[in-house]
Amino acid sequence: MIGAFAFLSPWVLAALVALPAIWWLLKLTPPRPKREVFPPLAILLRLARRDETPARSPWWLTLLRMTLAALVILAIANPVLNPERTTISTDGPLALLIDNGWASAEDWDERTRAAEALIDAAGRADLPVMLAFTADATNDATPLSASEAAEQLAAATPLPLKPDRLAAAEALSQGFADNAPGTLAYITDDLAGPDDEAAFDLLGTSGARDVALLSAADDRPAALTGAENDADATRISATRASSTAEQTLTIDAYDMEGRLIATTPLIFAAGSDAAAAELRAPFEVRNDFARLAIDGEANAGAVHLVDDAFRRRRVALVAGDAGNDAQPLLNGDYYLRQALAPYADLTASNAATIPEEIAAVLEQKPSVVILSDVGTLPDEAHAALQTFVEDGGTLIRFAGPRLAAADGEDSLLPVRLRSGARAFGGAMSWSEPQPLAPFTPDSPFYGLPVPDDITVTRQVLAEPAPTLADHTWASLADGTPLVTEGTLGEGRIVLFHTSADPDWSNLPISGYFVEMLRRVVNLSRASAVDGGDGAGSLLPPYRLLTANGVLTGETAGAKPLASGDHPAATHENPPGLYGSADGFVALNLFRPGDTLAALDASALSARSLPVGGEKPFSLKPFLLAAALVLLLIDGIIILAINGAFTRLQPRRVAVPFILAAALALPLGTMPGEARAAMTDAEITELLYETHLAYVVTGEADVDRISERGLKGLSDFISYRTALEPGDPIGVDPANDELAFYPLVYWPISASAPMPSETAIANIEAYMRNGGTVLFDTRDQYSPLGQGAVSANTERLRAILDTIDVPPLEPVPEGHVLTRSFYLLSDFPGRYDGSPLWVEARGDAAGDAITSGGDGVSPILITGNDFAGAWAINPDSTPMLPTVPENQRQRQLAYRTGVNIVMYMLTGNYKADQVHIPALLERLGQ
């Protein structure tokens, strides 16, 4: 009965509220002996008083009450429309085969509901049920009663594994000899498996009179098959079963805390069952990736876990010369440390000799070993380094006097070297120091602009060979190699033909040195997880993946994984992370090269049925609502029979009902999502205190960062200035009044719903009336390539298409924003590099363009993710790292926020030259 009240019309609720008022009016009504009662009620009174016996009620009232009772009884019976009509053969048991692998996770409830309908039909026919699940490790398909089969079905869950239909068919077939099934029903995920043909041949021998195939063929999921973290991007591969139409999906990247940190589109071309995507982001951002997932899909196949191969690399430095600690700028390892420190964990040893130092650093299991001007290696150290490289390590060597004097046939060099070094001013001198040549497309340095100011004055030369060009990553303008590469076993050797200090080149003191080292180190493989005994050690399950694509700490039933192995996911080793918090290996459901295909079940000769179908529709709430209406009518009639309406003026009766209808009309027409009008107290609070506002996108992660970002900025403003802003407020432009806020921060998200026309119109009105909107696309590092446009920028363009936006320009030199509080030359956020766009101050002819709001630009646009840099945790620590991680950049981001807020509040005050004479006069006093 209570549940029915949620379906009642507001008119009925209003009538319930109005009844006490009507009764109160009736009690105050004076007698009018000469007036007839309200005509409709008079008719009821005459009918009611035809029978003078007080113990009996009129027949029509009895009929009304019987109808009311019948409605209540029908509601209790819970009649439904579109009931499921499942038919099975009664010639034998029901054999039920169910796919419960990864692809069935999202619609598992519909699959179990279809199975329950089949089991209920078998129960009504008093037939046994044989039940098997294709992803379970074992199946006992002995005949069960319908109630026992229903209990087993209720206990079943989808598993993050691929189905094994042959094993399940073999379990079912064991009972077919003695119990030929009347109906063989197969609830399938509609994806092909490796043993389908054998499984269907075995099921075809069951002798079933009726074969039914239940599937959801229109909703086949896609799966991620691999991810490679290259020097400049993470490259992701995916597959799907249907290849008829073009399909666009979104891949999200999450960190270990489950926070969304990057996205990229994944496009399946029409006619293709495979797709690839590139997620371009700084190395520091990609270093935090823990999980890649297809947005909107909740299954284990749509998730790809990444392990320590995506983490910071451990780099060991070994220098041929101990150097001079009093003059570190003369040491090559000083420049290497400065270049590697932001993105790698550096290790070194205090050993006295090169062999001892190499042995010490190799014990720390580095990913990369760098030898700076190390010439001839002792046999023991040479063998240790060779084993390190063959096992997958990366060796980077820098030239110097010692390497120039060493034997050029060393196996730990990518190419054979000539003895000696080529120097400017010597016998093999150049006419002038040589600059770098453009990088070739197959070089990891490809994409870097060719520097004009980097020159090399000395280098070691490679012996000419037909394959030398294949080993060259960078060369000088005259064609001689500067960086060469070669493979040894599973590892790689890279040689810089110049020194790591500025003696031979000015490359080590340039930014290109940092970027080149970063890309080479990023190509290395992360150190293997140490299981305790080296190769072959066992890694315990750390986090496992559920069928819905969620990592969980429940690891019961999983066995340890042998380190170094890359097996397929099984019941003993389900998908997940194996190891510990200090290091782990990821085991994914799909591996590179895996494909999906549609199921071919033609061998079963089955009738096809949809999983789910048309859902039943309950009439219970409507029957209860009708019964309540009759109960209200009955109450009004009883009042009339007892004389409550006698001598009452018609208008006195009509007025309360008209008032009740007037009150109920807004209740019936008010949208469920509409917000209540603001109270005077709320308006006063907004006027009394300055609040920064942000647009609520509907995405929890984005909105939380916006709220915490503006909170961090408000706290910084309170600490540094005389302004004390209140807490930030999330607003919905479609429904909220924006005039109370001097600044509205709008984080653009392509995956959020497109704002309504009302919201965009309200934003435009807000901007025209002096408000400012700060649009942040947060995509400084997300474009797919040079000249490409990110999805967030496309969404911003769609929003601004219908807004009269003034001409824009990057903040010019001398703009008020550069000096409204702090003196700034650029405006970084979590990222640095995107300009801050404002309204242009002049047109092509030089005429001034003035905007409303005292010269304040109504629109600001950036891609630097301001809120990400401002965001703080409840303990006031930063929520997100800057990219690159730099405390100075975060301080500049806060200063940018202060300047923007002061610009909003003071307008062009700082640019008003009228105050300068007065200020100078006061300073003179």
Question: pLDDT tens-digit profile of 239-281?
Answer: 998 777 889 999 999 888 788 888 899 999 988 999 999 988 7
| pLDDT, position 96 | 93
C-alpha–C-alpha distance, residues 593 and 276, integer Å: 12
872 and 900 share a domain? yes
Q: Does 673 have pLDDT greater than 80?
A: no
Stretch 342-349: mean pLDDT, rounded?
75
Least confident span in 35-44, 673-682, 754-763: 35-44
**Any domain includes 554:** no
More confidently predicted of 111 and 325: 111
Which of 477, 495, 522 delimits the end of a domain? Answer: 522
pLDDT grade, residue 431 (50/70/90)?
Answer: low
Q: Which of 532-536, 787-791, 793-797 has the highest mean pLDDT?
A: 793-797
C-alpha–C-alpha distance, residues 61 and 375, integer Å: 111
53 and 104 share a domain? no
Q: What is the mean pLDDT of the chain?
A: 79
Burial grade of 855 (CB within 10 A; 0-12, 13-18, 19 or more): middle
Least confident span in 263-272, 640-649, 665-674, 778-787: 665-674
627 and 507 share a domain? no
Stretch 529-555: mean pLDDT, rounded?
73
Q: How far is residue 532 from each of residues 309, 345, 560, 580, measured CA to CA in Å?
A: 19, 21, 13, 12
480 and 609 share a domain? no
- Return all residues near 56 (Cβ < 8 A) that are at least 6 apart: none
More confidently predicted of 648 and 97: 97
724 and 836 share a domain? yes
Q: Are 513 and 351 in contact (CB under 8 A)?
A: no
Stretch 815-833: mean pLDDT, rounded?
89
**Any domain includes 922:** no
Q: Does 669 have pLDDT greater than 70?
A: no
**Any domain includes 27:** yes
C-alpha–C-alpha distance, residues 765 and 738, integer Å: 9
104 and 166 share a domain? yes
Q: Does 92 have pLDDT greater than 80?
A: yes
34 and 134 share a domain? no
Stretch 137-156: mean pLDDT, rounded?
89
More confidently predicted of 122 and 791: 122
**What's 317-364 look like in SS3?**
EEECCCCCCCCHHHCHHHHHHHHHCCCEEEECCCCCCHHHHHHHHHCC
Burial grade of 637 (CB within 10 A; 0-12, 13-18, 19 or more): buried
748 and 776 share a domain? yes
CATH number at residue 794: 3.40.50.12140
**Any domain includes 577:** no
Q: Does 771 have pLDDT greater than 60?
A: yes
Stretch 191-209: mean pLDDT, rounded?
86
pLDDT for 38-69, tens place per residue? Answer: 455 555 555 555 444 444 667 788 888 888 88
C-alpha–C-alpha distance, residues 358 and 395, integer Å: 12
Stretch 775-790: mean pLDDT, rounded?
67
| pLDDT, position 782 | 52
**Any domain includes 534:** no
C-alpha–C-alpha distance, residues 454 and 435, integer Å: 6
| pLDDT, position 256 | 80
Least confident span in 392-396, 490-494, 718-722, 881-885: 881-885
**Any domain includes 77:** yes
| pLDDT, position 843 | 44
Question: Residue 789: phi, psi to the nearest 5?
Answer: -120, 135
C-alpha–C-alpha distance, residues 908 and 814, integer Å: 12
pLDDT grade, residue 101 (50/70/90)?
Answer: very high
**Any domain includes 126:** yes
Give percent above pLDDT 70 in the chain.
77
Q: Does 301 have pLDDT greater than 80?
A: yes
Least confident span in 53-57, 376-380, 580-584: 53-57
pTM (predicted TM-score): 0.53
pLDDT for 105-138, tens place per residue? Answer: 988 988 898 898 899 888 888 999 999 999 998 8
List, edge to edge, every strand of the sheet that includes 129-133: 129-133, 94-98, 183-187, 210-215, 607-610
| pLDDT, position 675 | 42
137 and 179 share a domain? yes
In DSSP terms, 223 is beta-bridged to: 239
| pLDDT, position 914 | 45
pLDDT for 800-809, tens place per residue? Answer: 988 888 888 9
Q: Does 347 have pLDDT greater than 70?
A: yes
More confidently predicted of 161 and 451: 161
Strand 129-133 versus strand 210-215 pairing type: unpaired
Q: Which domain holds residue 903?
A: 680-911
Buried b (16+ CB within 10 A) or exposed e, 567-582: eebeeebbbbbbbeee
740 and 837 share a domain? yes
Q: Does 283 have pLDDT greater than 70?
A: no
Which of 497, 522, 547 delimits the end of a domain? Answer: 522
Q: Does the bond joining 917 to the residue before it have cis omega, within 30 degrees of 0?
A: no
| pLDDT, position 423 | 62
Measure the CA dihedral 747/753/754/760, to 10°: -60
Which of 463, 498, 522 delimits the end of a domain? Answer: 522
| Residue 535 falls in which region: left (phi positive, over 0), alpha (psi -120 to 50) or beta | beta
Strand 394-398 versus strand 368-372 pairing type: parallel
**Any domain includes 255:** no
CATH number at residue 501: 3.40.50.880
892 and 762 share a domain? yes
Tally of CB atoms within 10 A around 176: 22
| pLDDT, position 916 | 55
Q: Which of 24-33, 62-71, 127-136, 629-638 has the highest mean pLDDT?
A: 127-136
Q: Does 530 have pLDDT greater than 60?
A: no
| Residue 488 falls in which region: left (phi positive, over 0), alpha (psi -120 to 50) or beta | beta
Q: Does 620 have pLDDT greater than 60?
A: yes
| pLDDT, position 643 | 67
pLDDT for 830-868, tens place per residue? Answer: 988 889 999 987 544 333 344 444 678 899 999 999 999
Number of domains composing the chain: 4
Q: Does 76 have pLDDT greater than 80?
A: yes
| pLDDT, position 4 | 38
371 and 478 share a domain? yes
